[in-house]
Amino acid sequence: MASALVVAVVGAGDRDLPGLEAADDLARVVRVEDPDSQPPPLAEVDAVFAWASGRRSLLDALPRAPRLRWIQSSSAGVEDLADPALEERGIVLTNAGGVFDVGLAESVLGFLLAFSTRILESARRAPGEWESDPIRLLRGTRALVVGAGSIGIETGRLLRAAGLRVRGIARTARPPDDIFESIAGPDALHQELAIADHVVNVLPITPATRGMFDVAAFAAMKPSAVLVNIGRGATVDEAALSDALREGVIAGAALDVFEVEPLPAESPLWRMPNVLVSPHRAGDHEGWEADVVALFVDNLRRFVAGEPLRNVVDVERGYAPGGRS
């Protein structure tokens, strides 16, 4: 047995983490709810498996963990962990990139179908209401995927297979490929929004992306366009979005992430007939916990062997650039 101590910061107490026992062959594993309220022997800790709860307090505890060299996040988003202090202390941060890609892509297709086939309208009909409006075909329409990393690529692949024409926005423009007809840089966002029938936001939250979907962005979109947000809530100005939806600047929105979660009951988004609210679960397929644990165990094996880790996050950018963006 290795001498390293791995601390699993788990958000739900003794929740089952399928496959975690495989880590026992590589290290000594302990569970900690909150580094502040339940101080572990941090001086012995070499690696941390960080779940939902206690992540920010983990950063506060760094001075008490001189041996800590690696933090594995259970999520793809790491805005609460990507701190310059990690780089200063030589601590590598990895995320769960890739685990949620397929679920998110399928959810995007489902959201778009909910609008195009009028499922949303049908679900909200009153008893006896029997209007038979035609559906709108997705095939041949144009989707813009904003954030062409691993999630965006998987989303684009599925939308392309469904017959949509797919374009992308990435941090850096690159040549078209077998998924994207065009991949432009952020400076072309409004130009691309103007020709898209569907806009899929897959952006992580960074200083550059915060509030990127603002009044000007919505004004650039077609009045018939639908916005899908599976990225991060703070990349969208929700007040501007609410106004755009209410005033018919855009046709509708399917939202899985929000500036404040859970979405407050007083938010007007709950009551808009052209809005689909999803409780930040679009990527949470059945069995996702086991998939995240498997990624962690593989990275732990690499960590013990001194091999390169998967999904290393650039803490300055706030995401793992390996899957492109």
Tens of pLDDT, residue by residue over 212-262, are 999 999 999 999 999 999 999 999 999 999 999 999 999 999 999 999 999
Q: Which has more confidence, 32 or 114?
A: 114
Tens of pLDDT, residue by residue over 160-177, are 999 999 999 999 999 999
**Residue 218 amino acid letter:** F
CATH number for the domain spanning 74: value is 3.40.50.720
Spatial separation of the C-alpha atoms in residues 222 and 207, rounded to whole Å? 27
71 and 35 in a common domain:
yes
256 and 145 in a common domain:
yes
| Helix%, strand%, coil% for the chain, nearest 5 | 35, 15, 50
262 and 172 in a common domain:
yes
Give the model's confidence band at 9: pLDDT under 50 very low, under 70 low, under 90 confident, else very high: low
87 and 141 in a common domain:
no
261 and 175 in a common domain:
yes
290 and 238 in a common domain:
no
Q: At what angle do helices 150-161 and 101-116 cross, to 10 degrees?
A: 40
What pLDDT is recorded for position 15? 74
As a whole number of angstroms, the longest Cα–Cα distance in the chain is 68
Residues contacting 221, CB < 8 A, separation 6+: 193, 194, 196, 199, 227, 244, 249, 250
74 and 20 in a common domain:
yes
132 and 85 in a common domain:
no
CB 104 within 8 A of CB 160: no
What does the block give as tokens for 220?
Answer: 């650039």
193 and 140 in a common domain:
yes
177 and 242 in a common domain:
yes
Report the pLDDT averaged over residues 15-23: 90
Report the pLDDT averaged over residues 266-281: 97
H or E element that contains 292: helix 288-305
What residues are annotated to the active site?
Answer: 232, 261, 280
Q: Number of folded domains in the chain?
A: 2
Residues contacting 139, CB < 8 A, separation 6+: 162, 163, 164
CB 260 within 8 A of CB 226: no
181 and 34 in a common domain:
no
**Residue 262 amino acid letter:** P
Domain that holds residue 205: 101-277
What does the block give as tokens for 260?
Answer: 């404040």
Name the DSSP letter for residue 247. Answer: T
138 and 241 in a common domain:
yes
